Amino acid sequence: MEYLIGHHKIELDENNVDDASISLNPDLIEVICLTCHNREHKPYYKQKRKERHVYIVYGSPLSGKTTMAREMMQEGDIVLDIDAIWQAITFQPNHIKPDNCKYNVFKLRDDLYDQIKTRYGKWNNAYIIGGYPDKYERERVAKELGAELIYCESTKEECLRRRIESGRPEEYDEYIKKWWERFSGGEQSQK
């Protein structure tokens, strides 16, 4: 499935991003596939990217983390999705995480963390997608990896509604509720 994205015909920069006649003008925005969009901007990003950045995109299940990472990433970036590791080695839906497999999943995750921390390989930027409901754990990982935290803002009710709309099974609700029970952080108090 190819994702579509809005492409600004006039490149947005710090001088024109707040100009609604450019940034929000429907005549200057076209819908193209994500691959084409990344190809269009590849020369720009190659010039701009000298330092590798690491982003931890976190939030509740069904808060939009994967969509956000897909929209932000460019060709040549790497994405580490913790749920995808669980699915890859257990062949279970991403809300089912068999306890007997956790050490294998965590070992793979930690090996990939190490590659990101040491900037091993020739990737551009890295995106780590995960729940990270515990404030201290996500801040520890961000510090260790030199990562910027990006919270995918949502509410429990929105995520539960998205579960229904997506057709995921009802037991997914418990996965969402458990995340919200464990969630700690300054996000709510800052708003």
pLDDT tens digits for 36-64?
Answer: 776 776 655 554 545 899 999 999 999 99
Question: Which pTM value belongs to this model?
Answer: 0.69
Task: Give start and end residues of each alpha helix (H) in 3-155.
Answer: 20-23, 34-48, 65-72, 82-90, 102-117, 135-145
Q: Which letter, b or e, does each residue of 103-139 get, where b requires 16 or more Cβ atoms within 10 Å of its Cβ? A: eebeebbeebbeebbeeeeeebbbbbbbbbbeeeebe
In terms of CATH, what superfamily is 50-190?
A: P-loop containing nucleotide triphosphate hydrolases (3.40.50.300)
Q: Residue 10, SS3?
A: coil
Q: Where in the chain are the domains?
A: 1-48, 50-190
pLDDT in tens, 73-87: 999 999 999 999 999
The SS3 call for residue 159 is helix
